Amino acid sequence: MSLKPSQRSMIVGLAFCSPLIVGLAVFTVYPVAASFYFSLCDYPIFDPPQFIGLANYREMFEDPRIYIALYNTFIYAILGIPVGMVCGLGLAMLLNVKVKGMAVYRTVFFLPSVVPMIASCVLWLQVLNPQNGLLNRLLRSVGIPESQIPGWFLDPDWSKIALIIMGLWGCGGGMVMYLAALQDVPVELYESAEIDGAGPLRRFRHITIPMISPILLFTLVMGMIGTLQYFAQAYVMTGGGPLDSTLFYSLYLFNVAFSEYKLGYSSAMAWVMFIVILICTFIVMRVSNKVVYYRQ
């Protein structure tokens, strides 16, 4: 029986897509489904999983370290995301000025964002060393008393701020997107506003921000998702200390799975994190419909 041309085209297309389809099923769909099943089981990794229903989810409400991890994660997100966006946008506006050698400046500010994460962590451990770090040496050189110099990663009150400062060093990735958006804003709008008497602040508020608002929304959503999954820096630099001040949700999830060997409980934690990220993203996207301007 001969096949129709459309059927042959579909078979050929599926054959070419089959590696991707199989890879998606094996490495994405199955792990997601398995993690949901494990979240309903008592699974100590080395023994077969035993179905226990919603017991893992009920246990989360009684786990005090869950609340510490959630608090640390949301505080870091509330402080780190706006500061990172403002820093990236400020650099983009400075680098959008037409001066000689601007390509060199753009490259210099972008380079930190491509430095490997572990290398950045090792570097900043030295920069923020309380005794011999570069930053504290500068603070001492300007006459700040020793009692007022931060302990950074050794001080629970400064540990999250230290991680935020480290994050600003790599804001070049967002800066590049903001710079591309700024260069796409029509010059005629600025010229018309200037003729009408609008100053720099009013032009920034009524022209720049609306015109780049889609990029601002994108970086906000991606920053929120990345921050709620914050793990590598805290794992390498602090291990969650001091006094659990940098025990972020993903780090606690990792410790529960691979230090306490409670894979079922950690799977339940992962699904709760997924739901929280989904809700936060949904709220941001709904609110954005009123404040984000898309050019036709």
Q: Give the pLDDT of the chain (296 residues) as one tens digit per residue.
A: 566 777 888 888 888 898 999 998 889 999 999 999 999 999 988 889 999 999 999 999 999 999 999 999 999 999 999 999 999 999 999 999 888 888 898 888 898 888 898 899 999 999 999 888 999 999 999 988 888 899 999 999 999 999 999 999 888 889 999 999 999 998 899 989 988 888 989 999 999 999 999 999 999 999 999 999 999 999 999 999 899 999 999 999 999 999 999 999 999 999 999 999 999 999 999 988 888 888 76
- Please name the helix (run of DSSP H) or strand (run of DSSP E) that holds residue 55, with its range, or none: helix 55-61
Residue 215 makes CB contacts below 8 A (sequence gap 6+) with 177, 178, 180, 181
Q: Residue 179: exposed, middle, or buried by beta-carbon count in 10 A (0-12, 13-18, 19+)?
A: buried
Which segments of the chain are extended strands (E)?
A: 41-42, 50-51
- The predicted pLDDT at position 39 comes to 95
Six-digit token string for 40: 């309903």
- The predicted pLDDT at position 1 comes to 55
pLDDT digit string (tens) for 77-97?
999 999 999 999 999 999 998
With CA atoms as reference, report the closest residue to 163 among 102, 219, 246, 94. 246
Integer angstrom CA distances of residue 175 from 29, 225, 239: 34, 18, 29
- The predicted pLDDT at position 261 comes to 92
Taking the C-alpha atoms of residue 160 and residue 48, their distance in angstroms, rounded to an integer, is 39
Residue type, 127: V
Six-digit token string for 207: 């022209």
Residue 38 makes CB contacts below 8 A (sequence gap 6+) with 49, 263, 264, 267
Beta bridge partners of 42: 50
> Is 235 within 8 Å of 258 (Cβ atoms)?
no
> Is 224 within 8 Å of 288 (Cβ atoms)?
no
* Strand-strand pairing, 41-42 and 50-51: antiparallel
Integer angstrom CA distances of residue 91 from 84, 178, 223, 226: 11, 9, 17, 21
Go through the domains of the chain in sequence order and give each one's CATH number.
64-291 (1.10.3720.10)
